Copies of this chain bind each other. A is one copy, B any other.
């Protein structure tokens, strides 16, 4: 379900490192050469290229990319070149620094990664920033947002299987209904259920909710004032990320390109983090929902090397 296209016989890491070095040398930078390599290598290959580059040239490939490139293209290449754990750590760090609009990113990381992937991000955060994601999230948030985001990011969810406890699912569907009826959206029990139960268990509770109360849970989370309540929005997004992440990502991408002025930060984040995971499903869902191919929509809103980099990650360049 990834969109990443890796050649059947990829050059070895030494050759890739040499080509990249060449792309940086002389006057100007050969962006096309970079785009012909990095977005066509998987995480293990990119890691190896970085290692070989460092041992051969005594320089950090990421530092050289940082020096040579600029703007949105730079951020896309840098984020992509990191390992998934490092990338998530960097995204989380950005998010805790420029609060509050980006608390969405913390929720997204917490709810769309597996427990093992989230753990990789936490370990990379320790290594890189000498502190924990949890302490930065808790420090930079307050009230209901802190309660929900801290629980989501801290909890090491069980994800070892699809078995669910149906008695529990029925009970917790009732609890959610009771709390939402009473407009107690940030109640401890709501946060507990959404942040600690396995994704299978959350899904079972939400299906029970629909069966018992006759409507999707999202309906109970619409604000009376037309969608402006930020906490309700975060709660709806949490549920979407836990149950139908591809729909959530389609919304984020559409939000990033549909409005006047593109939100390159969000666009790059989704493409770079999902290309090796489920971007294929996201593409299909985008086309189904907006009746236009995702690549076309992105091409319309972006340009130059940045556009080429995103399209390469979308698996479009070579088709």
Which residues of A does B touch, CB under 8 Å?
119, 122, 126-127, 130-135, 138-139, 142-143, 146-147, 150-151, 154-158, 160-161, 163, 188, 192, 195-198
Give the shortest distance, in Å, between A2 (CB) and chain B (any CB): 26
Give the shortest distance, in Å, between A135 (CB) and chain B (any CB): 4
Does the CB pair B132–A196 fall under 8 Å?
Answer: yes
Give the shortest distance, in Å, between A97 (CB) and chain B (any CB): 15
27 of the cross-chain contacts (CB-CB < 8 Å) are: A119-B156, A126-B158, A126-B160, A127-B160, A130-B158, A130-B160, A130-B161, A131-B198, A132-B155, A132-B156, A132-B157, A132-B158, A132-B196, A132-B198, A133-B156, A134-B196, A135-B155, A135-B157, A135-B198, A138-B195, A138-B196, A139-B192, A143-B188, A146-B188, A147-B188, A154-B156, A156-B156
Complex Cα gap A157–B198 (Å): 22
Residues of chain B within 8 A of A154, CB atoms compared = 134, 151, 154-156
Residues of chain B within 8 A of A131, CB atoms compared = 158, 198
Which of A122, A155, A188 gathers most chain B CB within 10 Å?
A: A155
- Nearest CB to that of A156 among chain B residues? B122
Count copies of this chain in the complex.
2
CB within 8 A of A192: which of B138, B158, B197, B198?
Answer: B138
Complex Cα gap A68–B158 (Å): 33
Q: A154-B154, A158-B132 are in contact. Are A139 and B188 (CB under 8 A)?
A: no
Residues of chain B within 8 A of A156, CB atoms compared = 119, 122, 126, 132-134, 154, 156
Complex Cα gap A196–B131 (Å): 9
Complex Cα gap A273–B74 (Å): 50
CB within 8 A of A197: which of B135, B157, B163?
Answer: B135
Residues of chain B within 8 A of A135, CB atoms compared = 155, 157-158, 192, 196-198
Complex Cα gap A300–B163 (Å): 49
Known: A126-B160, A139-B196, A154-B155. 7 other contacts (CB 8 A): A127-B160, A130-B158, A132-B156, A138-B195, A146-B192, A151-B154, A154-B156
Residues of chain B within 8 A of A198, CB atoms compared = 131-132, 135
Complex Cα gap A150–B157 (Å): 13
Which of A131, A160, A161 gathers most chain B CB within 10 Å?
A: A131
Residues of chain B within 8 A of A161, CB atoms compared = 130
Residues of chain B within 8 A of A197, CB atoms compared = 135
- Nearest CB to that of A165 among chain B residues? B131
Residues of chain B within 8 A of A192, CB atoms compared = 135, 138-139, 146
Complex Cα gap A179–B139 (Å): 16
Complex Cα gap A198–B192 (Å): 24
Complex Cα gap A122–B156 (Å): 8
Complex Cα gap A151–B127 (Å): 22
